[in-house]
Amino acid sequence: MSKAKEMMEFIEKSPTAFQAIANIAEKFDKAGFVRLQESEEFSLEKGKSYYLTRNGSSILAFRVGEELSEPSFKAAASHCDCPAFKVKPNGVIAAEHYARLNTEVYGGALFTPWYDRPLSLAGRLVVREGEKISAKLFDLKKDFAVIPSLAIHMNREANQGFASNPQSDLLPLVSERKDFDLRKYLAKEAHIAEKDLLSYDLYLYPRQKGFFFGEKKEFLCSHHLDDLACAYTSSEAFLSTKDEKGINVYACFDNEEVGSLTRQGAASDFLSATLERVAAALDLNYRSVLAHSMMLSCDNAHAAHPAHPEKNDPTNHCFMNQGIVIKYNANQSYTTDALSAAVFVSLLEKKKIPYQYFTNRSDLRGGSTLGNISNGQVSLLSLDIGMPQLAMHSPMETAGSRDVDYMIEGIEAYYAAHLQLTSDMNYVLS
């Protein structure tokens, strides 16, 4: 099976951050990684691989080199959350003869494409089990809801642009009964007693499966490419490589779409505290190891849109299937600088892996990601890369099939290399 197909299968079974992290953890289990608990002492050995999760929605993993002769951390970080609609605690609104879910927008969702498509619910339920309170993964896996458009006849201006109101237009229809009871419904679907369902974190997600399209199936369209494409490709590269002289690190964080400032986000102490503990458990000096270390911040990039070339920077725009995108921003919303780009580009060139550059137009603000946020906690030589894609933050996003392989190969080249800082601006790659 092609890696692009495998990636879409991973995305299909990862409708929210909770499922994505469970699936990544399962991959690490199968590869023989040892699962650590934050609440327990770390006891680590050279040559072994480990992982731990926080909140069930962020994960860190590391592979300790057999020799560990020139210790450095070489990390790749991505995020597993995506813009969606989150169900409120009192989650049902009666409207005329119907019931709709009362939801709140999570992140910077592109509203229009959410209309008139089959939607389901996933996330986690928190339940009482005797004296215990436990979080359970939940995925309804049914066509459960639709956000119906208003007919063109009732809004003749709709095609000239329609401002969706999240508290009225975007609430999904779920029942013809005004008294629809969501808690009862969830308890039944999850096979638990209603009295034991204490709370939930549930999000709407599109039911449509990912698919390939185009003359040669050179494109793919899927839910959640931003950023599960990077979470997947970096995990594949992480699993297939080792740096025997150093420590390779895989990170996938929740809550990037809402600013990362949560217990499990890139702005938390999850990465810094874990790396400090790893260094201590291996008897290494954390600060001096950090000085030799590097991070790839992996999050997708905007490919040039065929209908809107005017949105591109004139000389730094990128295309699907043309390789890994290296993202620059003068104001450092991307962490790339000449030094980090040179280190990465030299690795790509050695393996003949295509790459391209992206900057925003000088009159467009553009987006940001977790790299610079994480750098405030764990300060490393960093750069921002990603897969070029269209329709970012739509429930179905489009990317190039071949770029999946380029991403894996490029991150493999990075993880397989050993990086050593010999003076403040002087790196040796081996």
Which of these ranges, 121-129, 217-225, 236-244, 296-304, lies near Zn ion under the rule CB under 5 A?
296-304
Tokens of 395: 């429930």
- Tell me how far, at minimum, the Cβ of 306 lies from Zn ion, in Å: 22
Q: Are strands 294-298 and 34-35 parallel, antiparallel or unpaired?
A: unpaired
Specify the DSSP class assigned to residue 361.
-
- Tell me how far, at minimum, the Cβ of 410 lies from Zn ion, in Å: 18
Which of these ranges, 1-9, 239-247, 295-303, 336-344, lies near Zn ion under the rule CB under 5 A?
295-303
- Tell me how far, at minimum, the Cβ of 332 lies from Zn ion, in Å: 17
Say what angle helices 17-30 and 225-240 make with each other, to 10 degrees: 10
CA proximity to 264, closest of 57, 106, 61, 98: 57
User: Of 186 and 220, which has the nearer Cβ to Zn ion?
Assistant: 220
Q: Which residues contact 203 (CB under 8 A, 6 or more apart)?
A: 15, 16, 84, 85, 86, 87, 106, 121, 122, 123
- Tell me how far, at minimum, the Cβ of 227 lies from Zn ion, in Å: 4
User: Of 290 and 318, which has the nearer Cβ to Zn ion?
Assistant: 318
User: Of 136 and 393, which has the nearer Cβ to Zn ion?
Assistant: 393
Residue 105's SS3 state is: strand
User: Of 226 and 384, which has the nearer Cβ to Zn ion?
Assistant: 226
CA distance 161 to 308: 17
Name which of residues 5 to 64 contact Zn ion (CB under 5 A).
Answer: none
- Tell me how far, at minimum, the Cβ of 24 lies from Zn ion, in Å: 16
Q: Are strands 197-206 and 381-386 parallel, antiparallel or unpaired?
A: unpaired
CA-to-CA dists, residue 41 to 91, 248, 277, 364, angstroms: 40, 21, 9, 48
User: Of 293 and 389, which has the nearer Cβ to Zn ion?
Assistant: 389
Residue 284's SS3 state is: coil
User: Would you state the torsion angle of the CA atoms of residues 92, 225, 51, 137, taken in this order, to the nearest 10 degrees?
Assistant: 20
User: Of 327 and 418, which has the nearer Cβ to Zn ion?
Assistant: 327
Q: Is 226 in the site for Zn ion (CB under 5 A)?
A: yes
- Tell me how far, at minimum, the Cβ of 229 lies from Zn ion, in Å: 9
CA distance 318 to 359: 9
CA proximity to 427, closest of 300, 294, 260, 238: 294
Task: Work out which of 139, 227, 236, 313 binds Zn ion, going by CB under 5 A.
Answer: 227
User: Of 301 and 419, which has the nearer Cβ to Zn ion?
Assistant: 301
Which of these ranges, 27-35, 218-226, 234-242, 346-354, lies near Zn ion under the rule CB under 5 A?
218-226
CA proximity to 127, closest of 38, 201, 198, 226: 198
- Tell me how far, at minimum, the Cβ of 411 lies from Zn ion, in Å: 16
Which of these ranges, 68-76, 117-125, 169-177, 293-301, lies near Zn ion under the rule CB under 5 A?
293-301
Q: Which residues contact 13 (CB under 8 A, 6 or more apart)?
A: 19, 23
Which of these ranges, 111-119, 176-184, 224-232, 235-243, lies near Zn ion under the rule CB under 5 A?
224-232
The residues pairing with 59 across neighbouring beta strands, listed in sequence order, are 53, 252
Contact in structure between 237 and 412 (CB atoms under 8 Å): yes
Entry field: residues in the chain: 430
For residues 128 to 157, the per-residue mask of contacts with Zn ion, x marking binding by CB under 5 A and - elsewhere, is ------------------------------
User: Of 227 and 412, which has the nearer Cβ to Zn ion?
Assistant: 227
Which of these ranges, 223-231, 322-330, 344-352, 355-363, lies near Zn ion under the rule CB under 5 A?
223-231
Q: Is 384 in the site for Zn ion (CB under 5 A)?
A: no
The residues pairing with 420 across neighbouring beta strands, listed in sequence order, are 428
Which of these ranges, 101-109, 221-229, 239-247, 304-312, lies near Zn ion under the rule CB under 5 A?
221-229
Q: Is 81 in the site for Zn ion (CB under 5 A)?
A: no
User: Of 299 and 384, which has the nearer Cβ to Zn ion?
Assistant: 299
In the Cβ-directed half-sphere of 31, how many Cα atoms lie within 13 Å? Answer: 21
Other C-beta atoms closer than 10 Å to the C-beta of 418 total 18
Gyration radius of the chain over CA positions: 22
- Tell me how far, at minimum, the Cβ of 299 lies from Zn ion, in Å: 4
User: Of 65 and 206, which has the nearer Cβ to Zn ion?
Assistant: 206
Tokens of 359: 């900057």
Name which of residues 299 to 328 contact Zn ion (CB under 5 A).
Answer: 299
User: Of 63 and 224, which has the nearer Cβ to Zn ion?
Assistant: 224
Q: How many residues bind Zn ion (CB under 5 A)?
A: 3
- Interaction site with Zn ion (CB under 5 A): 226-227, 299
